[in-house]
Amino acid sequence: MSERAVASERDLVALRPEQATIPPGHPWNRIPLIAAVCALLGAAACAILGAANPKQFFFSWLVSFLFFLSLALGALFFVLIQYASQGGWGIVVRRIGETIFAMLPLMAALFLPLLLGLRDLYSWTVPGAAEHDALLRWKAPYLNVPFFLIRAALYFGIWSFIAILYYRGSRGQDVTGDPGVSARLRRIAGPAIIVLAVTQTLASIDWIMSLTPKWYSTIFGVYFFAGSFVGFIALLSVVAVAMRRARLLDTVISAEHLHDIGKFLFAFTAFWAYIAFSQFLLMWYANLPEETIWYKARLEGSWMYVTLFLAAGHFVAPFFYLMGRTVKRKGATLAAGGAWLLAMHFVDLYWQVMPTLHPEGLRPSALDVAALVAIGGCFVAAASWLLRRQALVPLRDPRLAESLAFENA
Amino acid sequence: MPFDPSRTSGSSRAPYYGILAEFATPADLYHACERVRDAGFTRWDAHTPFPVHGLEGAMGLRRSPLPWIVLGMGLLGAALGFVLQWWVHASAYPLVISGKPYFAWPAFVPITFEVGILFAALGAVFGMFGLNRLPMHHHPLFRSKVFERVTDDAFFISIESWDPLFDQSATGKLLESLGARSVEILES
């Protein structure tokens, strides 16, 4: 117990609500409006450009939808493991995660436009696709439109249920201060993680893998999870540093917390690479057509450059960049790494989805940007609107004092 | 018992290791370390039964060079692992395996990774041994009777006699003034 830990525990153990809210007149109060305007402009651009090229619109929308969905799912996993492991350090940044996974019901609404384009996106939904294809016929009990829709409804129902349960519980504790809330949420965190793992795996199979309906990969769900968790931690690092810069929570989130966020980012960057390479290595080695078909599309033409960029930008560069201690403890350097990995997470999803539409090579489209701005605008507007209405940390969590005083050994 | 520099267990003229001071609590030790650090001593150490958070800051220790050793060893191991496989498969004894090219780099990655990890781990263990000058079969501190409680409930500072600022009488008095429960002179 160092001098500093003792001092900070004494000073901050009773965090007053006004120390952890966005004060009136603060620039962050304007974010919801700005983001909503962006969302409207993006949606208008999608409508105008998409009318001329609906197929491109649906694929662009799918990439951006998956990007923000994966961030929200990563946030849910992060908070669930904090509860399950009774983690102390992360309490001060937990509300950021809670705000982001509270966007899961919104993601259900943003999923709806894709339903208009199922035939453009998923070749197996075209009537008669399975008729002359033994493999698709064999997969039809799973890959059929009614079951696909039922599953999607189930995923969003389950995710929204868990998200609302945890969000409400945490917000309620701000008022009541009841430590029983933490104990209750901890008890269900383990089962919730299992449910999340299963639904997230199946969702990634439905929405990404089935773009190439004859492709087999048993590790794909883990790959999607790895990307989603890297994406969320990257976002968390950016938001935490941005808050400190904006003089919100600047006395609450310390270099110690940034250091731990940085460790997560470093570790899961390596985990993502481990899973991504495991998938590639076994398929490359076995050389079976139903597996290599997916990589063949990504190792030919200009997609090859995207593949190499992904390997270098999503693993090699951030791995060495985030290795050192100083980089993780300084706001500017950590947020730079986080912003980079967030962008690489988008590239990763783009690389998973787009070769289905453009097997001839990388074809960037204005619709990619329009869909990103439209969905991102909605996401940021809703999340920042929530931030305005709530405390920025779980004020009366029994472990808040431990988190405030946290120091790396 | 007040500190008396003439009271030593051996001949006072014999070369001796330094001074050992015992503190009752981690907090006492922590604050004493800050003062010893601020006094400018360089050849000294603190001994506790369990890790005391922040003590390295109170002692003014620089960060260990061990991470650099681990990184260097890891990179060296990875490079050696990769070159070994290239030499075996593509140069010394080329064989067609599963219809893959001789230089089938994706197949080399797991071994490259594992050898990198192995060397990094060996670098961490033996680097730590080297930096701590281990194994060490005896240490003058073990002559002290009170020091036996270092693995139980006592906290110590030892200052070595070859510290440039060391002065038997003044250093002992300093430690006593910092709240030491006992101060003794250690033979080498």
Best residue in B34, B53, B117, B155 for a mutation probing chain A (most A CBs within 10 Å): B53
Flag whether B154 is in a domain. Answer: no
Cβ distance B54 to A277 less than 8 Å, yes or no, reads no
Cβ distance B54 to A4 less than 8 Å, yes or no, reads yes
Closest CB from B30, B100, B109 relative to A277? B109
Q: Into how many domains does chain B fold?
A: 1
Where exactly are the structural domains of chain A? 3-404
User: Cβ atoms within 10 A of the Cβ of A187, count?
Assistant: 12
- Which residue, chain included where needed, has tokens 């001329």? A52
Flag whether B173 is in a domain. Answer: no
Query: For B31, which residue in chain A has the nearest alpha carbon?
Result: A3
Contact A126, A261 (CB under 8 A): no
**Sorting pLDDT into bands at 50, 70 and 90, what band is A10?**
very low
Residue A155, helix vs strand vs coil: helix
What DSSP state is assigned to residue B104? -
Flag whether B113 is in a domain. Answer: yes
Q: Report the alpha-carbon distance of residue B128 to residue A71 in Å, rounded.
A: 40
Cβ distance A285 to B107 less than 8 Å, yes or no, reads yes
Whether A288 has its CB under 8 Å from any CB of chain B: the answer is no
Whether B53 has its CB under 8 Å from any CB of chain A: the answer is yes
Measured in angstroms, the CA of B51 and the nearest CA of chain A are apart by: 9
Query: For B50, which residue in chain A has the nearest alpha carbon?
Result: A1
Query: For B97, which residue in chain A has the nearest alpha carbon?
Result: A285
Flag whether B118 is in a domain. Answer: yes
Q: Mean pLDDT throughout A48-76?
A: 97
Q: Report the alpha-carbon distance of residue A368 to residue A68 in Å, rounded.
A: 14
Flag whether B108 is in a domain. Answer: yes
CA A379 to chain centre: 12
Set of chain A residues whose Cβ sits within 8 Å of the Cβ of B57 = 2
What DSSP state is assigned to residue B100? -
What DSSP state is assigned to residue B155? E
Q: Which two tokens stand for residue B81?
A: 């692992």
Top pLDDT among A196 and B168 is at: A196
Q: What is the residue-wise DSSP string for A133-149?
A: -HHHHHHTTTS-HHHHH
Q: Mean pLDDT throughout A130-145?
A: 92
Q: pLDDT at residue A3 above 70?
A: no
Whether B134 has its CB under 8 Å from any CB of chain A: the answer is no
Whether A407 has its CB under 8 Å from any CB of chain B: the answer is yes
Q: What is the residue-wise DSSP string for B57-68?
A: HHTTPPPPSHHH
E strand or H helix at A302? none
pLDDT value of position A408: 79
Cβ distance A2 to B58 less than 8 Å, yes or no, reads yes
Whether B58 has its CB under 8 Å from any CB of chain A: the answer is yes
Set of chain B residues whose Cβ sits within 8 Å of the Cβ of A5 = 53-54
pLDDT in tens, A74-100: 999 999 999 999 988 999 999 999 999
Q: pLDDT at residue A349 above 70?
A: yes
Per the rule left: phi > 0, alpha: psi between -120 and 50, beta: everything else, A408 is beta
How many CB pairs (< 8 A) connect A and B? 37
Q: Mean pLDDT throughout A379-384?
A: 97
Set of chain B residues whose Cβ sits within 8 Å of the Cβ of A409 = 51, 53
**Sorting pLDDT into bands at 50, 70 and 90, what band is A196?**
very high
Whether B106 has its CB under 8 Å from any CB of chain A: the answer is yes
The tens place of each residue's pLDDT in chain B, 188 residues long, gives 456 555 554 444 447 899 999 999 999 999 999 999 999 999 999 999 999 988 999 999 998 999 999 999 999 999 999 999 999 999 999 999 889 999 999 999 999 999 999 999 999 999 999 999 999 888 889 989 999 999 999 999 999 998 999 988 899 999 999 999 999 998 87
Closest CB from A5, A281, A407 relative to B109? A281
Q: Report the alpha-carbon distance of residue A306 to residue A310 in Å, rounded.
A: 6
Strand partners, B44: B159
The three state secondary structure string of A194-233 is HHHHHHHHHHHHHHCHHHCCCCCCCCHHHHHHHHHHHHHH
Helices (H) and strands (E) in chain A, counts: 18, 0
Cβ distance B57 to A2 less than 8 Å, yes or no, reads yes
Query: For B106, which residue in chain A has the nearest alpha carbon?
Result: A281
Range of the domain at B76: 66-131
Whether B71 has its CB under 8 Å from any CB of chain A: the answer is yes
Closest CB from B54, B67, B98 relative to A285? B98
Cβ distance B99 to A287 less than 8 Å, yes or no, reads yes
Closest CB from A281, A323, A407 relative to B54? A407
Cis peptide before B135 (omega within 30 of 0): yes
Top pLDDT among A401 and A268 is at: A268
pLDDT value of position B2: 55
Set of chain B residues whose Cβ sits within 8 Å of the Cβ of A2 = 30, 53-55, 57-58
Cβ distance A281 to B106 less than 8 Å, yes or no, reads yes
pLDDT value of position B12: 46
Set of chain A residues whose Cβ sits within 8 Å of the Cβ of B55 = 2
Nearest partner of A253 among A268, A239, A235, judged by Cα? A239
Q: pLDDT at residue A5 above 80?
A: no
Q: pLDDT at residue A115 above 60?
A: yes
Contact B49, B178 (CB under 8 A): no
